[in-house]
Structure 1
Amino acid sequence: MASAKIVYASMTGNDEEIADILEEEFENLGVDVDVSEISQTDAAEYEDYDIAVLVTYTYGDGELPDEAVDFFEDLQEEDLSGKVFGCAGSGDTFYDDFAKSVDDFAEAFKKTGATQGAPSVKVDLAPEEDDITNLQAFAKQLLASYNDQK
């Protein structure tokens, strides 16, 4: 059975909701899932899972959340070769750098040697019906990428 680790940063609850949607979809797909908040998680924990997922919000004009900075730096030092990763998160389309932290984390994962298993998913503020559908497809694609890689 495949395993997935979902780490999230959430200020308003939107990204926790995204993490919950992904957790439920992975469970429906038969994946063993562990979810934790970014400030309570060490980046090395991804080593124990097949699929690594990061869910984050973007603060202000494209900045990483304060509570995510150490994790972001530590992540880039990990060797996650053979792992599949995916990034998702929320932002506000009012800003020019809409959900930029999602892209920043995808770049950080690439430095670990992990394979991007699905295109990143960005949600404008809170997830709505279309976003939920996209997040479910994202989880399915991550699992399919992992299965193809085995």
Structure 2
Amino acid sequence: MKALIAYASMSGNTEDMATILKQTLEEKGIDTDMLELDETSVESLSLYDYILIGSYTWGDGDLPYEAEDFYDQVSSLELNHAKAAVFGSGDYSYPKFCQAVHIFHDMLKTTGASVFPETLKMELAPDTDEDVECCKEFATSFLTWASLSEKRVENHVS
């Protein structure tokens, strides 16, 4: 299995989350690439079984500038083959905390991807042991969910 973690991070908070997710997936035996959204070729998404998208939220609930083209391009794809999840960092001082996470989550559903119903939203950086553990648990839960989804599909096919 191969995973892609594609993220946008201005202050490094979402990148820190992505790094923890990558380490956790690799500890579970998943070959994982980690790229910034504006460096990610949407054509390459078909190469991945798992796609995790991370983004901070800009202003009053908008996608950051560097995520807009990626969003537009991915929203027109068919990702029926993929299991996907979304994560991001935010700041509760803004009115729409981690809204970019919801925007990406909803968009991925329209692509036909199987989208993990849980999202990972974090206030600023994963600075505490509890925050790091939360990221690890998210990655582990995602893999468990993806594995169960694959088994359900296999049982319906056989």
Q: Same fold (TM over 0.5)?
A: yes
Q: TM-score, normalised by structure 1?
A: 0.95
**Equivalent residues, number:** 149
CA distance in 1 between counterparts of 2:142 and 2:79 reads 15
Query: For residues 45 and 17 of structure 1, what CA distance do their matches in structure 2 show?
Result: 23
Alignment match, 1:147 = 147
Q: Which string of whole-angstrom CA distances, capped at 9 and with x for unpartnered residues, describes residues 60-86 of structure 1? A: 111100010010111111111131110
Note the residue ranges of structure 2 that are not aligned, 5 or more in a row.
Answer: 151-158
Q: CA RMSD, aligned part only?
A: 1.1
Which moves more between the two structures, 112-121 or 99-108? 112-121
Question: Which ranges in structure 1 are unaligned for 5 or more consecutive residues?
Answer: none
Partner of 1:13: 12
User: How far does residue 149 in structure 1 lie from its aligned partner after superposition?
Assistant: 2.6
Give the corresponding residue for 1:62.
61
Q: Kindly indicate whether residue 120 of structure 2 is the aligned counterpart of residue 116 of structure 1.
A: no
Aligned residues of 1:118 and 1:138 also touching (Cα < 8 A): no
Q: Distance in 1 between matches of 2:138 and 2:2?
A: 15
Counterpart mapping for 1:1-150 below 5 A: 2-127=1-126, 128-150=128-150
* More deviation, 70-79/131-140: 131-140
For residues 10 and 81 of structure 1, the distance between their equivalents in structure 2, rounded to whole angstroms, comes to 27
C-alpha separation in 1, matches of 2:84 and 2:129: 24
| % identical aligned pairs | 35
Q: Which moved more, 1:83-92 or 1:138-147?
A: 138-147
* Larger CA Rg, structure 1 vs 2: 2
The CA distance in 1 between the partners of 2:141 and 2:81, in whole Å, is 16
